[in-house]
């Protein structure tokens, strides 16, 4: 009897995740759900996420190698007029043309209402979708569900296709409204290892298994960059690790005064590629610890090499520094020179946009252009200056080793009395007085 009981329990544990997953599908709207007037655990809620499921899978083709695709399905209940904003979805996607441009596809978008005791469906029409530019790197797909009323339920699915495999999208299990069920699945081929980091006070349930998988793709033979017309069907076999993260009945997380960024406290999962291990190739590590992160960033073409460029400011500085004898005088002279001659273009980043030489010549650049240039000038004057990686308040706190933890760089001068921190992107800034956007816990000095 004991053996039978243990086997039965094991069977339940093994198969229950799949059973639970099958209960949360689009199109399964009931009269009881539409009749519900308030959320059963939060009567003040203006809306609630009945379920949200994400699935990140990898595909392969000859031209791009491995690529990622994120599929998200969601079902949201609108309780009050104040919750109508939840019927509008904005999905950010990367548009810079460096091979990692993303595509967003919308489908299965339907609004459900209860009319005379019967369920009425209204589907989203194609003309209700539009793309909106955010800046030259990012855009967003926007759509608003039709015929939304108090009591409506909206459902939708979207897919984000990405040629980059570095950082899967963060998954937020929690939101500013109650979340009844949140599930994220990550399917990773054996060639990749990802760091995973959690935030928030709830630990999602984790279920992991390994499966054999095959991908069919078309191979075209080529030589010297010319692809021939002949093609063959090839098959790639590998072991795939499938991990499911599940969280249920999460309360709304409300923003409050004096909280720098509520996302720092939201139950969420972030991941980043830490290692590749392709067949017949040595392992390649990326961001297993902070030292690896810093080295990876420093080696980027738009960081370390830009920091070490010379031959564009020396003649100007020689004239400016003639009367600057003390350390303080040198700092102020160089700091004011950069502030008054190079205008910030409102783009963040620890990687240069135009490059320091072009930014200096054209008198405009992003944060990295300006502050790496500043660091180089301070070094030229004989000061011990180094860049400091930081994260803006909007980007969250850099708690875990990963390259996307930072999105900003400033300069630091080392003195016997401590560090002097400098950001030349603001016209009226002074040494050791940084813009509010970067007053966000700690930074990481790169010597």
> What pTM value is reported for the model?
0.84
Burial 91-112 (b: 16+ CB within 10 A, else e): bebbbeeeeeebebebeebbbb
What is the DSSP secondary-structure string of 287-332? Answer: -SSHHHHHHHHHHSTTTHHHHT--SSSHHHHHHHTTT--SHHHHHH
Q: In what order do the strands lie in the sheet with 418-422?
A: 418-422, 408-415, 385-390, 444-445
Q: Write down the residue that tokens 């243990």 correspond to.
A: 6
Name the fold adopted by 294-445: C8orf32 fold (3.10.620)
For the segment 184-229, what is each residue's pLDDT rounded down to a tens digit?
999 999 999 999 999 999 999 999 999 999 988 887 776 555 555 5
Compute the distance between CA of residue 98 and CA of residue 210 in angstroms, rounded to an integer: 33
The tens digit of pLDDT for each residue in 161-189 reads: 998 898 899 999 999 999 999 999 999 99
d(CA 163, CA 27): 31
Structure tokens at 23: 């209960």
Strands 179-189 and 47-61: parallel
Whole-angstrom distance, CA of residue 302 vs CA of residue 97: 16
Distance between CA 84 and CA 97 in Å, rounded?
35
Length of the chain: 447
Lowest-pLDDT choice from 15-24, 124-133, 404-413: 15-24
Give the tens place of pLDDT for each residue, 116-134.
999 999 999 988 999 999 8
Average pLDDT over residues 398-421: 92
Domain-by-domain residue ranges, the chain? 18-286, 294-445
Q: Are 207 and 244 in contact (CB under 8 A)?
A: yes
Which residues 6+ apart lie within 8 Å of 240 measured at CB?
58, 187, 188, 189, 190, 210, 211, 212, 213
CATH class for domain 18-286? mainly beta
Q: How many CA atoms lie within 13 A of 107 on its CB side?
A: 7
């Amino acid at each position: 009897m004991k053996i039978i009981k243990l086997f039965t329990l094991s069977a339940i544990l093994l198969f229950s995740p799949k059973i639970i997953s099958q209960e949360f599908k689009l199109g399964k709207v009931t009269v009881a759900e539409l009749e519900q007037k308030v959320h059963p655990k939060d009567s003040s809620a203006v809306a609630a996420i009945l379920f949200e499921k994400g699935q990140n899978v990898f595909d392969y083709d000859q031209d791009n190698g491995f690529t990622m695709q994120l599929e998200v399905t969601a079902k949201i209940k609108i309780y009050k007029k104040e919750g109508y904003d939840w019927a509008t979805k904005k999905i950010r996607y990367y548009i810079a043309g460096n091979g990692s441009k993303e595509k967003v596809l919308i489908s299965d978008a339907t609004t459900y209402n209860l009319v005379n005791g019967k369920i009425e469906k209204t589907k989203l029409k194609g003309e209700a979708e539009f793309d909106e530019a955010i800046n030259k790197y990012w855009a967003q797909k926007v759509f608003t569900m039709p015929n939304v009323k108090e009591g409506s339920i909206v459902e939708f699915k979207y897919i984000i296709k990405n040629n980059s495999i570095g950082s899967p999208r963060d998954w937020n299990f929690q939101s500013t409204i109650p979340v009844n069920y949140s599930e994220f699945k990550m399917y990773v081929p054996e060639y990749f290892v990802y760091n995973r980091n959690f935030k928030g006070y709830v630990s999602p349930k984790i279920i992991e298994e390994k499966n054999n998988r095959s991908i069919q793709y078309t191979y075209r033979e080529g030589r010297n960059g010319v692809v021939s017309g002949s093609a063959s069907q090839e098959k790639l076999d590998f072991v795939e690790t499938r991990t499911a993260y599940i969280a249920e009945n999460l309360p709304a997380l409300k923003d409050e005064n004096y909280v720098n960024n509520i996302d720092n406290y939201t139950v969420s999962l972030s991941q980043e590629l830490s290692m590749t291990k392709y067949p017949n190739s040595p392992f390649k590590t990326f961001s297993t610890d902070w030292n690896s992160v810093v080295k990876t960033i420093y080696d980027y073409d738009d960081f370390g090499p830009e920091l070490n460029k010379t031959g564009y400011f020396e003649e100007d500085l020689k004239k400016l520094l003639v009367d600057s004898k003390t350390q303080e005088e040198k700092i102020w002279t160089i700091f004011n020179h950069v502030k008054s001659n190079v205008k910030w273009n409102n783009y963040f980043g620890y990687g240069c946009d135009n490059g320091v030489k072009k930014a200096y010549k054209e008198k405009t650049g992003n944060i990295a252009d300006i502050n790496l240039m500043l660091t180089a000038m301070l070094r030229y004057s004989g000061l011990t200056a180094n860049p400091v990686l930081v994260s803006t308040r909007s980007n969250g706190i850099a708690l875990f080793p990963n390259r996307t933890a930072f999105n900003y760089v400033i300069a630091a001068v080392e003195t016997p009395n401590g560090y002097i921190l400098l950001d030349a992107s603001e016209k009226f800034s002074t040494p050791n007085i940084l813009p509010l956007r970067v007053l966000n816990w700690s930074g990481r000095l790169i010597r």
